[in-house]
Chains A and B, each alone.
Chain A
Amino acid sequence: MPKLIKDRAIAVDRWTLLKDATGSEVLTAIPGKNLIVPLRFWKDYAIELESYAGDIGIWLDSDETISEIGDALAEFPLIALNFPVFADGRSFSNARELRERFAYEGEIRAIGDVLRDQLYYMSRCGFNAFSLRHDQDPDSCIAAFDDFTTGYQATVAEPIPLFRRR
């Protein structure tokens, strides 16, 4: 089971990630879970999902954009953004857009190739939960949030860039 950090602490994961798009029969196979479903699945099975007993979150791959979720955004308590490889930086932009343009206040979770040395940047872009790759040491990962005392840019936690605070 992947290790989860949420709001800078090791957390119990109450969500089940539906990795690949499958048919809607999966909903009857694993009833009553809290599911993070792929964008495609959510689009294809909107009606089936409505009657599912359990919370529904959504995950976007790095080549998918927030605007594809449209007005339904606020319905999701959790949006996960995937890093197919850690060096694929597109989800950084998606996270910022979620927080800054759409004022999304739910959980933004990093999934996929989530490694210690990217966590600081991820958190500054608005991620607050991190589903670590299996080989990552959670304690070392928590320390990563303090790699830097301050930064030049505005962040979700500090919405005023440094140049306006000097």
Chain B
Amino acid sequence: MYRYDGYDHQMLSDRVAQFRHQTDRFLAGKLSDAEFLPLRLQNGLYVQRLAPMIRIAIPYGMLSSRQLRKLAFIARHFDKGYAHLTTRQNIQYNWPQLEDVPDLLAQLAEVEMHAIQTSGNCIRNTTTDQFAGVAVDELEDSRTYCEIIRQWSTFHPEFAYLPRKFKIAVCGTVIDQAATQVHDIGIYIVPGPAGETGFRILAGGGLGRTPVIGQEIFKFVEKPQLLTALEAILRVYNREGRRDNKYKARIKILIRETGVDLFREKVHEEWQRIKDSALILTDVEIARCKAFFEDPAYAELIDKPEALTKPLAQDVLFSSWHQQNVRPHKRPGYAIVTVCMKETGVAPGDVTDQQLEHIAELAERYSFGEVRISHQQNIILADVRQEQLAALYCELKSQALESANLGLLTDIICCPGGDFCVLGNAKSIPIAESIQRKFRDHDELTDIGEANINISGCMNACGHHHVGNIGILGVDKKGEEFYQISLGGSSKNVASLGKIMGPAFAQQEIPAVIDKIIKVYKSNREADEKFIDTYKRIGMAPFKETVYAKAD
């Protein structure tokens, strides 16, 4: 993974000192709430329902064991012993004290971590496929370009006060795991006319109040022009994005109001002016960044060794975990393991200090000392020897980390909701739990197959409910919490936004409603058809009829 040099370290320690100074001035009454607000947000610090919340950046999801241990330490010393994995490859703490935050940031800086631009109206943490570098269907490792974008966007002086937040995702695989099309900028690594890979760049995607799929702004950009293209888009947005209404300030609204053709024209006009500037990436820089993500020292192994096939045949639980949570790796004899953080009774994405330390140790022993965080709020050990999977499974079990529900109905993506978040209209964690309790039978879950549920506690859509096969949105109706259900969303290559099924439900009705939806799917599916495909074939009507049928 990327390692800091003197420049990176210097910038980070300068940042910690700067924020310490800002916090001191705020606590001394020399900085108003309104003026401190964007400064603390650009350091990931929110003032929440119960205490401040701090969001730590995990650039494109990569973490070392050393960093995991530091996160565990922070959970213990600054929080109540746990942390929360977010839906954008970040990690949050819900209980730090404001005056402790500078020290917390100084601790993070020791392990090359920070909270820079994890919030606020600026360019946020760039996200990607959690399987980058090990996926079988990868054109090129996206992390090289994520790191290049990270550096370009960090403390970018022109784009620190954008109209609104700005999120970038990069996808280097054939099957999109990064929800690329619902980002302000989505970048696909694609083969170019001469065979050399470059980028296809979309803009204007996003969820929130107005969900939109991104539209193509650059059909093909050569690699050295990555940053000039991004800078051109950002400049047009910074200048022309709406600032009169924060609900209309995202780039998707600008593109809609300008018209995509005119917007594209403006970007290209700007790009013509800067595409020969010093911002053109050099081969040396691309090679320098690429070198950080070279393969670890893989052994020459064979697929399906006896040390795997034997326990698979003998142990049903191991076998079903293997079936769900283990994915093929680009190297023979290796596998990608997802540790699913969706144990029933635990808020989706919550992880304790002990679990973090345990995973750090497992990463060292089984996966070259690195893990990844996914936007599905899970943790990935990306380079595990197949012959060691059984042993790894046993160790995961000892910390209750063996949930075998990856990609299944109970692998719910969920925001912190009204329990923690000041924005939340409604709670989301108890909804997730009530669904998980309804669907406890593993055989039933595997029979249902791939069907994801996304829950957001308000229309800001941190739980990405628009792209859930089943989306649940908390709404406030005269002070009472209700839940609106949508069907048919997907963040994959053929991205789609879910459609609202009908009137909202009370909290206690949700598990039964989900059950009805699943029954409609099961009675209509053909062969191995997934939930989303059945929905696309039969449409909303059969689901709606059953769910809203009057009881006789």
A binding-site residues for B, Cβ under 8 Å: 65, 86-90, 92-93, 96, 100-101, 115, 117-118, 120-122, 124-125, 147-155, 159-164, 166
Contacts and interface: CB of A to CB of B under 8 A. Distances in A.
Nearest to B35: A115
Contacts of A152: 11, 151-152, 154-156
Nearest to B236: A93
Given A90-B243, A148-B11, 17 more contacts: A86-B161, A87-B161, A88-B161, A88-B243, A89-B160, A90-B239, A92-B158, A96-B158, A100-B277, A122-B157, A147-B17, A149-B11, A151-B11, A159-B278, A163-B148, A164-B278, A166-B5
A92 B157 contact: yes
Given A150-B7, A151-B11, A161 B278 contact: yes
Given A160-B278, A162-B7, A166-B7, A89 B151 contact: no
Contacts of A124: 157
Interface of B: 5, 7, 10-11, 14-15, 17-18, 22, 31, 35, 38-39, 121, 148, 151-152, 154-163, 235, 238-239, 243, 273-274, 277-279, 281-282, 285, 288
A117 B15 CA distance: 12
Contacts of A90: 238-239, 243
A163 B279 CA distance: 9
A151 B155 contact: yes
Contacts of A86: 35, 161
Q: Which of A100, A150, A159 counts the most B-chain CB atoms under 10 A from its CB?
A: A150
Nearest to A113: B35
Nearest to B151: A152
B160 A149 contact: no
For the complex of A and B, 10 pairs with smallest distance between CB atoms: A89-B161, A124-B157, A121-B157, A163-B285, A148-B14, A152-B151, A92-B158, A147-B18, A149-B10, A125-B157
Contact of B155 (A87, A148, A160): A148
12 contacts: A65-B239, A87-B161, A89-B162, A90-B243, A92-B157, A92-B160, A93-B235, A93-B239, A121-B155, A152-B154, A159-B278, A166-B285
Nearest to A87: B161
Contacts of B239: 65, 90, 93
Contacts of B238: 89-90, 92-93
A99 B35 CA distance: 28
A117 B25 CA distance: 11
B155 A164 contact: no
A155 B285 contact: no
B66 to A, nearest CB: 24
A121 B243 contact: no
Contacts of A155: 157
B278 A87 contact: no
A90 B121 CA distance: 13
B39 A153 contact: no
Contacts of A163: 148, 151, 281-282, 285, 288
A125 B154 contact: no
A147 B15 CA distance: 8
A162 B151 contact: yes
A90 B285 CA distance: 30
Nearest to B8: A152
Contacts of B158: 89, 92-93, 96, 121, 125
A2 to B, nearest CB: 17
Contacts of B154: 152
Q: Which of B17, B35, B161 counts the most A-chain CB atoms under 10 A from its CB?
A: B161
A125 B38 CA distance: 19
A89 B164 CA distance: 10
A162 B156 CA distance: 12
A125 B277 CA distance: 15
A129 to B, nearest CB: 16
B157 A153 contact: yes
A135 to B, nearest CB: 9
A89 B160 CA distance: 7
A87 B163 CA distance: 9
A120 B11 CA distance: 13
Given A93-B235, A149-B11, A166-B288, A87 B157 contact: no
Nearest to A152: B151
